[in-house]
Each structure stands twice: as C-alpha cells, then as structure tokens.
Copies of this chain bind each other. A is one copy, B any other.
Amino acid sequence: MNERPLQEPTLLLLTALTDEPRHGYGLIQEIDAISQGRVRMRTGTLYGALDRLVQQGLIRVEREEVVDGRARKVYALAEAGRDVLAAETERLRAVVAEAERRLAARRAPAIRPKGALA
C-alpha cells in the first residue's frame, strides 16, 4: 500500500469527515468553512478522491438517502482513515513547527556552540 503523504485536499476531506458523516456536496461546504474560504474543493477532485479513499479503506459509504428529491451519498470516516489522519497530522505538525522555528530565528546571533567567534 501507498504510504505517500496526503495532499491537502485529501487531508481536508478526512478532517471534514472526522466529526460526523457527510455527503459530497456537504463536504465542499464544510471544507470551505474549515479553511475560511481559502480552499474550494472542486467536484473533479472530490468525487475522484472519494472513490479512491473508499478503495483504500480510509472512508466508507455510510448510507444513501434522498432529501428533497435529490440523491445523496453519505460518507463516513473509517478506522483506518482516522489512524492515517492522526499519523499525518502528527508528522505535519512537526514539520510546521520546525519550519516556524527556523523562520523565527532570522539571523539571530543566538547561542553558538562553545567559544564560537562571529
């Protein structure tokens, strides 16, 4: 199986499914909300990704329903998906922390190893 790092759209998909099951269109709106409107999930990305994630066992089709005459497929996060998301966020958090640590250390003549001269 592929252990390649998740790309952001996929990460957001799993995140949006973490609190409760949602259907495709609802995911677009939820992701829009999560990212404060900065990420707009396209349907081309969405439905392809949903199929792929089901295939990988990270999510599953919870149920299909009809609301106001419109068909919906409701997806739920699988245990494997939760595990992957947890591992992924853990690793990303470390990467982000390291990047921010280095960005913050702008040419600061901080602590140098013993007796180092400038």
List the interface of chain A (C-beta within 8 A of B): 5, 7-8, 11-12, 14-15, 18-19, 34-36, 38, 82, 85-86, 89, 91-96, 98-100, 102-103, 105-106
Are B18's CB and A95's CB within 8 A? no
Total identical chains: 2
Instruction: Please report whether the interface of chain A is mostly helix, strand, loop or mixed according to DSSP.
Output: helix
Select one of B85, B96, B105 contacting A92, CB under 8 A.
B96
CB distance from A22 to the nearest CB of B (A): 12
- Please name the residue on chain B nearest to A92 by beta carbon: B96
- Report chain B residues within 8 Å CB of A103: 18, 82, 85-86, 89
Q: Given contacts A5-B8, A7-B7, A89-B100, is CB(A34)–CB(B95) below 8 Å? A: yes
Extra contacts besides A11-B99, A18-B106, A86-B103 (6): CB < 8 Å: A14-B99, A18-B99, A34-B95, A89-B99, A92-B92, A92-B96
